């Protein structure tokens, strides 16, 4: 299968052998996605073929959905009692016992929720095409907000102060423009810039930095007002800029590049009502008859007739044999299954290192962030352990809402991981109130937290490939490449086998590649 | 009334004499709005007092709503047969005959629309508080999108080319960072930057510009991919950066500051279903018994008993006399009424110069911008007459949608103003297809345009105060100040009397100031 994806993805690779002729034409423009539609991935299979899918997260459900369209008999075995895997939405009624044995019951008000795992979708991701195909309604997700705060420690007077993004940007861009204009005017860049370049650059900088006629940054309405301008002679009171040195040394600009990162730049989207809506929609299309929930796989073996999988469900041991298996169980958990995988595959699976991430949601009975801080969605960022505070993208202007009081990863998440929920809440409130003030501690109705290292059937937020420098994909290690190959009739799929680790897009495209590969093999063997 | 707003707005000015004690406390923190709630603006009036409100746009309806809460008898006279004034949403069934005599009937599909006037609301505007108070559901508005295009004429090879915002930003910020880092490293800014400043700046620039270890910009994944990265070995193909000189000279960065402007920075909002929802909600609260639609005011005079207003409705002439009048008719149209206003007031009204702006909406039966260009909301910008193409913020991923094919102002709008609708459409498609390609010309179901200079009862998009440099407020000219004073029992209100011209916020805060002033006067005279 190596190299398959590189030829242009599932549709192209299989195009030639589509029995229905519905595969996308190879003449499609390179830069655009082919929107999915029923049957467009692969043609119908001839004869009867079965596939058992291990795991009912994005990779598993997408595999099952596409295989069914192509005429395969599919059974999904999912250990949890819900679809979606790391796409998990906590709402009133959600109950979870973590690996430390602590049970939390979520008591958020009707209609309120937060996504403990996946929460946002960039425009380029195939996830949006599946939303279209499955009829899952989407809405804008606030991934950038001029009114949220940055709050960092530094050796300046801004240390530990909450500064709005709008002020931080206006000052940073203002001084940056002033400095570059000054250097240019002084001839410091004459080796690289012609007269004409300098004029054009200067014009850009004046606008971008909101500079005065003599090229200085003296503050800007972009920073906002201490009192809002209104009618008549109420001109508002513009906030004063910070000093250049403070702006540079305080590091308040450290997160700006997030705003135009490839997969975080606005516009961003999310399903109305929670990310898990996508996987309930997959479930409906696949049919609950074809998904066994509460089915914990314990064994997976290549046998002469195909693949035999053993699992426990409802307290009893069961077994299923199918022509092929797609294993979407997180890689670091696969080795725990009884198996007859070769040693090099088991070694390769160990190279996918588990990582820490988690969130805590607080339901407030008052949307103080809107009425007092004028923040409607988006996130405040900090170098405290909480890392960020994410404001709800739903129920705007209503009387209550769920704030994600932390979404942290790595070391900062480890500071929460070993705590009980009550301790996590206390720490989250203590840190959050240093950013949004004393009101952060009041009007709390309830809360719910999740730590992925401590969550059964995940035990990790996402995989870091040993030797890849902890990147989210794009660096194929030998172990990664190894797992792209099937082991006889067993295929591996999941976001860990993609260049979009920690994104549903990675899991979905991985599933599509594997489905295409199986189908191609079946066609060749026929 | 001069200076009233400057003391802190309506609530504060009247706080001391609120009969119910519900006025906001003066101890409220300066930087925040006091969320509105029934009765918080002013207390109940003693005795019976009447006010006639001329115009049922934002200023008129807000005035009526607040006055009713305070116990006044209010009659709104509105020439049109709908509420909202320049807040006007075109949808199937909308019909309009413009001042050239051309009639358009809008045939957009059920549920589809676009806002011919007001379309977006910043987080700080009181408009959002009225949405809360009136129970008007709001949603995010796409005011920034990395995937939309810029397309400008220039003397470079980028001239007339469509470039995504994400590519334009990555390259501009990349080269800007490289240049500033180079100048800094060479010591060109040593007079203003210490060693420590330079280190901190350098760290920021490396991240902000996505620079290589040796401080150069060599392209970035932020620009996007020619083919999207997926699973396995499909790493995608990163788009190559433009040359520094092209980036600087082509002016592709000219619109970046829009993104962090005070009243345009994300997050931005809009009511679900069209901006006019706000004014239908006002109408419901005020009661249709208290609003006369189709009532064209022809005369407004101060008389001994108050103010007498004459109007035509249903073909017959009518008259109403009330204790006070609030005139929200656009200032350049007030002089046409029969009136006994003093000469200096009539002169002052003439200083409010009308301006051109307009939009044209095209309903497409295929959301090519989503499926082919991966654009979900936001706008493409150009220096062609169309100025911008705005993509719908509703019905994402569905089978049809209304694109605003131009939203232009000033000279560029004048290029459309005198055309028939068919001619406007042809010009819009010709220019738009140069930006989004041949697909722009296909799958068009219907279209509808509005030109505010040619729209009865408006004849202008917004006022430019003579001598204010065409600013949208913040520059009080003598004429502006003149109209802040009542003429006996006649008060003027509207966005033109605010520091938020062309914003509903301006009209609403103006209304609140006037209502407070009338109430204060009634209390003093009691
Ligand atoms: C904190 C966090 C934030 C994220 N944010 C985003 C985001 O904003 N946008 C986005 O697109 N993506 C996001 N992601 C990533 C996204 O959730 C994953 O990419 C996606 O869930 C991967 O799908 P998968 O099918 O490969 O794995 P999983 O979702 O982990 O699915 C694996 C399935 O296998 C099941 N399983 C495990 N063991 C067994 C067993 N023994 N027997 C049977 N079944 C078993 C599990 O229960 C699970 O259902 C986020 C993830 C996390 C953790
Ligand atoms: C193209 C455009 C884009 C805009 N975009 C935004 C935006 O994105 N966000 C935002 O907040 N604001 C926006 N605005 C501004 C917003 O629409 C105005 O600020 C607001 O409508 C002003 O309210 P008003 O009551 O002062 O005036 P109007 O809305 O003009 O109301 C005046 C009323 O008086 C009536 N009238 C006129 N003559 C007579 C008469 N003789 N007798 C009786 N009635 C009469 C009119 O019919 C009208 O209803 C935009 C405006 C335009 C034109």
CA-CA distance, A210 to A218, in Å (whole number)? 8
Residue A316 is predicted with a pLDDT of: 97
Q: A188 CB near a chain B CB, below 8 Å?
A: yes
**Tokens at residue B368, please?**
């090519």
CA-CA distance, B133 to B284, in Å (whole number)? 13
Q: Tens digit of pLDDT for each residue in B174-211?
A: 999 999 999 999 999 999 999 999 999 999 999 999 99
User: If contacts are CB pairs under 8 Å, which of residues 264-323 in chain A contact chain B?
Assistant: 265-267, 269
How many CB atoms neighbour CB A399 within 10 A?
Answer: 11
Q: What percent of chain A has pLDDT above 70?
A: 92
Residue A476 is predicted with a pLDDT of: 87
The band of A312, judged by pLDDT with boundaries at 50, 70 and 90, is: very high
CA-CA distance, A369 to A435, in Å (whole number)? 12
Nearest to A500 among B222, B229, B376 (CB): B229
* Of B70, B47, B163, the residue nearest B436 (C-alpha): B163
For A49-84+276-351+465-525, which CATH superfamily applies? FAD/NAD(P)-binding domain (3.50.50.60)
Residue A42 is predicted with a pLDDT of: 73
Alpha carbons within 13 A on the beta-carbon side of A463: 31
The band of B473, judged by pLDDT with boundaries at 50, 70 and 90, is: confident
Place of tokens 């016992």: A97
- Ligand 2 pocket check for B468: Cβ under 6 Å: no
Could you tell me if B225 and A122 are in contact, meaning their C-beta atoms sit under 8 angstroms apart? no
Mean pLDDT of chain A: 92
Residue B329 is predicted with a pLDDT of: 98
- Ligand 1 pocket check for A501: Cβ under 6 Å: no
Compute the average pLDDT of residues B348-367: 98
Whether residue B34 is predicted with pLDDT greater than 90 in this model: the reply is: no
How many CB atoms neighbour CB B526 within 10 A?
Answer: 9
Residue B461 Cα, ligand 2 centroid: separation in angstroms? Answer: 8
What is the number of helices (H) and of strands (E) in chain A? 14, 27
The band of A29, judged by pLDDT with boundaries at 50, 70 and 90, is: very low
CA-CA distance, B148 to B127, in Å (whole number)? 28
Residue B40 is predicted with a pLDDT of: 61
A231–B509 CB contact, under 8 Å: yes
Let me know if the fold of A49-84+276-351+465-525 is the same as that of A89-147+265-273+356-454.
Answer: no
Residue A255 is predicted with a pLDDT of: 96
For residue B89, what is the enclosing H or E element?
strand B89-91
The domain locations on chain B are 48-84+277-351+463-525, 89-147+265-274+356-454, 165-253
Atom of ligand 2 nearest to the CA of B500: 19
Could you tell me if A322 and A518 are in contact, meaning their C-beta atoms sit under 8 angstroms apart? no
| Helix residue ranges per DSSP H, A255-393 | 277-286, 331-334, 343-350, 368-371
CA-CA distance, A162 to A151, in Å (whole number)? 5
Coil, helix or strand at residue A409: strand
Helix-helix angle B126-134:B277-286, to 10 degrees:
60
A266–B145 CB contact, under 8 Å: yes
Whether residue B481 is predicted with pLDDT greater than 80 in this model: the reply is: yes
- Ligand 2 pocket check for B54: Cβ under 6 Å: yes
Coil, helix or strand at residue A422: helix
Residue A342 is predicted with a pLDDT of: 98
Predicted-complex ipTM score: 0.94
Q: Tens digit of pLDDT for each residue in A217-267?
A: 999 999 999 989 999 999 999 999 999 999 999 999 999 999 999 999 999
Q: Tens digit of pLDDT for each residue in A470-512?
A: 777 777 899 999 999 999 999 999 999 999 999 999 999 999 9
Could you tell me if A498 and A505 are in contact, meaning their C-beta atoms sit under 8 angstroms apart? yes
Q: Topology of domain A163-253, per CATH?
A: de novo design (two linked rop proteins) (1.20.1440)
The DSSP secondary structure of B155-192, one letter per residue, reads SSTTTT--EEHHHHHHHHHHHHHHHHHHHHHTTTTTTT
Size of interface A-B (CB pairs under 8 A): 354
- Ligand 2 pocket check for B59: Cβ under 6 Å: yes
Q: Tens digit of pLDDT for each residue in A186-204?
A: 999 999 999 999 999 999 9
For residue A510, what are the β-bridge partners?
none
| Helix residue ranges per DSSP H, B193-243 | 195-209
Chain A residues with CB under 8 Å of B244 CB are: 192
Chain A residues with CB under 8 Å of B474 CB are: 229, 235
Nearest to A139 among B126, B140, B228 (CB): B140
Q: A168 CB near a chain B CB, below 8 Å?
A: no
* Candidates 3.40.190.170, 3.40.50.300, 1.20.1440.240, 2.30.30.830; CATH matching B165-253: 1.20.1440.240
Q: Topology of domain B89-147+265-274+356-454, per CATH?
A: Polyamine Oxidase; Chain A, domain 2 (3.90.660)
Nearest to A232 among B5, B197, B223 (CB): B5
A228–B33 CB contact, under 8 Å: yes
- Ligand 2 pocket check for B52: Cβ under 6 Å: no
The residue count for chain A: 526
Atom of ligand 2 nearest to the CA of B496: 26
Kindly indicate whether the domain formed by B48-84+277-351+463-525 is annotated with CATH number 3.50.50.60. Answer: yes
Q: Topology of domain A89-147+265-273+356-454, per CATH?
A: Polyamine Oxidase; Chain A, domain 2 (3.90.660)
């Amino acid at each position: 299968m190596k190299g398959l994806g590189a030829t242009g993805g599932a549709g192209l690779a299989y195009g030639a052998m589509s029995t229905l002729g519905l595969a996308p034409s190879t003449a499609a423009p390179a830069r655009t996605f082919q929107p999915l539609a029923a049957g467009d991935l692969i043609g119908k299979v001839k004869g009867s073929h079965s596939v058992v899918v291990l795991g009912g997260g994005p990779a598993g459900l997408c595999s099952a959905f596409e295989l069914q369209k192509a005429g395969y008999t599919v059974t999904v075995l999912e250990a949890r009692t819900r679809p979606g895997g790391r796409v998990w939405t906590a709402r009133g009624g959600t109950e979870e016992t973590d690996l430390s044995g602590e049970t939390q019951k979520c008591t958020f008000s009707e209609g309120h929720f937060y996504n403990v795992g996946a929460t946002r979708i960039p425009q380029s991701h195939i996830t949006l095409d599946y939303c279209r195909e499955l009829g899952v309604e989407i809405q804008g997700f606030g991934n950038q907000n001029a009114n949220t705060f940055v709050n960092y420690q530094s050796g300046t007077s801004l240390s530990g102060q909450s500064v709005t993004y709008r002020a931080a940007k206006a000052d940073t861009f203002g001084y940056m423009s002033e400095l570059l204009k000054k250097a240019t005017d002084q001839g410091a860049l004459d080796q690289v810039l012609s007269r004409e370049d300098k004029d054009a650059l200067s014009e850009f900088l004046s606008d971008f930095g909101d500079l005065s006629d003599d090229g200085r940054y003296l503050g800007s309405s972009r920073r906002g007002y201490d009192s809002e301008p209104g009618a008549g002679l109420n001109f508002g009171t513009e906030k004063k800029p910070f000093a250049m040195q403070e702006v540079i040394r305080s590091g308040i600009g450290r997160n700006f590049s997030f705003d135009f990162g490839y997969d975080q730049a606005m516009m961003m989207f999310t399903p109305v009502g929670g990310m898990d809506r996508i996987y309930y929609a997959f479930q409906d299309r696949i049919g609950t008859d074809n998904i066994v929930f509460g089915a914990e796989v314990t064994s997976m073996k290549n046998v002469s007739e195909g693949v035999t999988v053993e699992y426990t469900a409802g307290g009893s041991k069961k077994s299923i044999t199918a022509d092929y298996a797609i294993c979407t169980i997180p890689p670091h958990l696969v080795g725990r299954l009884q198996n007859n995988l070769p040693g090099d595959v088991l070694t390769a699976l160990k190279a996918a290192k588990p990582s820490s991430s988690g969130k805590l949601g607080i339901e407030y009975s008052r949307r103080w962030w809107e009425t007092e801080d004028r923040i409607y969605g988006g996130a405040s960022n900090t170098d405290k352990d909480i890392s960020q505070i994410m404001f709800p993208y739903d129920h705007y202007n209503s009387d209550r809402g769920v704030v994600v009081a932390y979404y942290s990863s790595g070391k900062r998440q480890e500071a929460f991981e070993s705590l009980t929920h009550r301790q996590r809440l206390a720490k989250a409130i203590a840190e959050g109130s240093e950013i949004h003030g004393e009101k952060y501690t009041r009007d709390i109705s309830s809360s719910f937290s999740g730590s992925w290292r401590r969550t059964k059937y995940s035990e990790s937020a996402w995989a870091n490939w040993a030797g890849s420098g902890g990147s989210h994909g794009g660096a194929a290690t030998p172990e990664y490449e190894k797992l792209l190959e099937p082991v006889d009739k067993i295929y591996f799929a999941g976001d860990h086998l993609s260049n979009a680790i920690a994104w549903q897009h990675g899991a979905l495209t991985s599933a599509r590649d594997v489905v295409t590969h199986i189908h191609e093999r079946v066609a060749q063997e026929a």
